[in-house]
Structure 1
Amino acid sequence: MNEQSHILCIGAALWDIIGRTPAPMRIGSDVAGRIARIPGGVALNIAMALVRAGARPDLLAAVGQDAAGDALVADMAAYGVSVQHLYRAPDLPTDTYMAIEGAGGLIAAIADVHSLEMAGAKVLAPLRDGRLASDAAPWHGMIALDGNLTVALLAEIGSAPALAQADLRVAPASPGKGERVLPLLKRPGTVFYVNLEEAGLLCGTEFDGSAAAARGLLARGARRVLVTDGARDTTDACADAVLTQAPPQVQAARVTGAGDTFMAAHMAAEAQGMAREDALRHALKVAANYVAGGPEH
């Protein structure tokens, strides 16, 4: 791997509490299933997927100095994610995400990422003080950025001299937080990874497919976007070309983390110099394998 394989991931690192059942569910359902606690959060999910792809991710996130935080940091380090630049908050608890998945996919989820929001600019200190970069020595590589940061901090990232030359890859984190990333939409050197719902929210309308959504985002000033639409096709669009591919069809065994897996696989493929069409095909294959419950490599 070359130096492009050193990728920063900025955003949420937390514990995922996920309940899964193969049974159909509706409001008020009470069914048998399995409940697991696993490391998660958009930035950490991407970092772990990058490790599986052979990259060297460095995580910038807020993790509490509590027992949950100690366990999370130990798991991250054992997995191969660099934790030396984490902000260990002395007065904040480690964040948590809770999701319920039934037959057909996600039923509901709640993200408690208040500690990340309260930590604010402290998370970015290594990009200011020279440990990773500074205004005088900007970061030149890839950065995976998730939308769990505050609007003010996302806007600061968009204009920070230390990040002016970065290849910024942005994930809104969830449809409910999609509008937070609007300040970055027209930033040069920025790639957006969104699903169909998030694209609609960013454009203030609804789209009937990924290609239409991608064109809508380009019309709003985005430089490059990748729009996913679940088991339907995915579009990679920029001013020069619009490329659409269908993912492999699989039986869904899990959905939480699928978008992060796709984004990480695509970033790693492009960091290794894979052609645009091949990188998209590769990322769709990796994400489909993840959704099917197979090995995550």
Structure 2
Amino acid sequence: MSRESSPRPAGTTGDPATPRPAGTTGDPATPRPTGPTVVVCGTVNIDTFVGLETFPRPGETVIGRQGLRSLGGKGANQAVACARMGVHTVLLASVGSDPLGDSALADLRGHGVDVTHVRRVAEPTGQAFIMNDRAGENIIVVTSGANEATDPRDSVGTVGTLREQGSVPVVLAQGELTPEHSVRIPGLLAEGTRLVLNLAPVTTRDAGLLAAADPLIVNEHEAADLLGADAATAGGGAAGGAADGGSAGGDADGLARGLAGLARSVIITLGAEGAVVLDPRTAPDPVHVPAPQVSDVVDTTGAGDAFCGTLAAAVAEGEGLVDAARLAVAAGSLAVRARGAAASYADGAEVRASAVGG
């Protein structure tokens, strides 16, 4: 990266005692991509999972069934899901110059994600602490740490270089960056570059950011939040399935139509019921994409990220939005059958075999 806000400690991913240029991972230069590319701009965390029978009440201490530590963060999760589909995936993110950062980068490399442009910074690597009950629901607490240093302005050159190499990338971003950094995401876009925006959580309503989204991906609660609607009328509680949050009970079609005035295209995720897609360029009405049925839900954490990463990969490969959503809901449904986020994601062959109507 060419832009540095503060000095960075020396060290490499594998050996913190070895000097390296500040703000780099020490990885070799990115090889010239030979196919479609997705550039993911987002967060990287190390997740700590604790299984519980039921969630504790305020002031109550409970004993967890098991503990598990793994890669997490929406940016990392979505990058892994994208790479699992066989698409060249470049992650733009920040991790600490600490053992957790080393672990995160090693996991990302193991999943096939290009981490050449992940920055090592002075702040500690982000963490998430996740409690899962026996029903598969979760409660999550996040400490942002190094993620607050991720500024899209640092990555304009990366996207430009990929374009010069003949790869017109899809840029995939989420709502976990700081609001002041999120609104700079459109600055990554050049002619022919497409933004897939998963505005989760809703941290900004910046008109320029929303107008660049193609598609904007949100669940029903997030859609209602963006439109200023009553979330109670937008579909009720979270459901385990194809994507985190949402249900089929509300007026998802109406929410999609409302958001179509803000973004180029819209996807409303509906948990176990799949998703609603509205792309005014191809059809005037929303299209419901059902999800495969899942009877053995273990953990819904990261299912929405599987959806988003898979959808971005499919779009980069030239799929239309509805067909891309079919693959995405299949990926999300497969992800809920195992504990954890990135570690639970299926590969492209299994996703395609599972897709309804594919």
- Is the contact made by 1:7 and 1:141 (CA closer than 8 Å) also made in structure 2? yes
Partner of 1:25: 55
- The alpha-carbon deviation at position 238 of structure 1 amounts to 2.5
Alpha-carbon separation, structure 1, partners of 2:208 and 2:298: 34
Task: Pick from 83, 86, 104 the counterpart of residue 115 of structure 2.
Answer: 83
Partner of 1:155: 183
Q: Say which SS state the counterpart of residue 187 (structure 1) adopts.
A: helix
Change (3 A) 1:120 1:185: closer
Partner of 1:243: 287
Alpha-carbon separation, structure 2, partners of 1:120 and 1:32: 34
Partner of 1:231: 272
Q: Say which SS state the counterpart of residue 39 (structure 1) adopts.
A: strand
Structure 1: give runs of 5+ residues left out of the alignment: none
Change (3 A) 1:29 1:246: farther
More helix per residue: 1 or 2?
1
Change (3 A) 1:277 1:50: same
TM-score by length of 2: 0.72
Q: More deviation in 246-255 or 26-35?
A: 26-35
Partner of 1:254: 299
Q: More deviation in 247-256 or 23-32?
A: 23-32
C-alpha offsets along residues 48-92 of structure 1, whole Å, 9 cap, x if unaligned? 111111011111101111111122212212221111111110x21
Change (3 A) 1:165 1:181: farther
- Is the contact made by 1:139 and 1:163 (CA closer than 8 Å) also made in structure 2? no
Q: Say which SS state the counterpart of residue 206 (structure 2) adopts.
A: helix
Alpha-carbon separation, structure 2, partners of 1:236 and 1:73: 34
Which has the greater radius of gyration? 2
C-alpha offsets along residues 179-234 of structure 1, whole Å, 9 cap, x if unaligned? 42534454245311111111111111132142222122124x22111111211241
- The alpha-carbon deviation at position 162 of structure 1 amounts to 5.1
C-alpha offsets along residues 11-63 of structure 1, whole Å, 9 cap, x if unaligned? 10110112234x34352472542221111110110111111110111111011
Alpha-carbon separation, structure 2, partners of 1:167 and 1:127: 14
Task: Pick from 145, 148, 151 the counterpart of residue 173 of structure 2.
Answer: 145
Q: More deviation in 185-194 or 141-150?
A: 185-194
Q: Say which SS state the counterpart of residue 73 (structure 1) adopts.
A: helix
Alpha-carbon separation, structure 1, partners of 2:320 and 2:265: 15
| 2:58 aligned with 1:13 | no
Partner of 1:296: 346
Change (3 A) 1:275 1:192: closer
- The alpha-carbon deviation at position 114 of structure 1 amounts to 3.5
Alpha-carbon separation, structure 1, partners of 2:213 and 2:255: 20
Partner of 2:3: none
Partner of 1:133: 160
Alpha-carbon separation, structure 2, partners of 1:173 and 1:163: 24
* Identity fraction in percent: 25
Structure 2: give runs of 5+ residues left out of the alignment: 1-32, 235-249, 339-343, 348-358
TM-score by length of 1: 0.86
Letter in 1 for 2:293: Q
Partner of 1:192: 216
Change (3 A) 1:162 1:281: closer
Alpha-carbon separation, structure 1, partners of 2:51 and 2:205: 30
C-alpha offsets along residues 239-293 of structure 1, whole Å, 9 cap, x if unaligned? 2331112212213111111001011112222222234433222221221111123
Q: Say which SS state the counterpart of residue 99 (structure 1) adopts.
A: strand
- The alpha-carbon deviation at position 139 of structure 1 amounts to 8.2
Alpha-carbon separation, structure 2, partners of 1:228 and 1:200: 12
Partner of 2:317: 272
Alpha-carbon separation, structure 2, partners of 1:81 and 1:19: 27
Partner of 2:127: 96
Partner of 2:252: 210
C-alpha offsets along residues 119-169 of structure 1, whole Å, 9 cap, x if unaligned? 143x642324xx4427x97984201111122222222222x2754642011
> How many matched pairs?
284
Q: Say which SS state the counterpart of residue 292 (structure 1) adopts.
A: coil
Q: CA RMSD, aligned part only?
A: 2.5
Alpha-carbon separation, structure 2, partners of 1:114 and 1:277: 36
Letter in 2 for 1:245: V
- Is the contact made by 1:16 and 1:96 (CA closer than 8 Å) also made in structure 2? yes
Letter in 2 for 1:75: D
- Is the contact made by 1:165 and 1:189 (CA closer than 8 Å) also made in structure 2? no
Partner of 2:84: 52
- Is the contact made by 1:58 and 1:83 (CA closer than 8 Å) also made in structure 2? yes
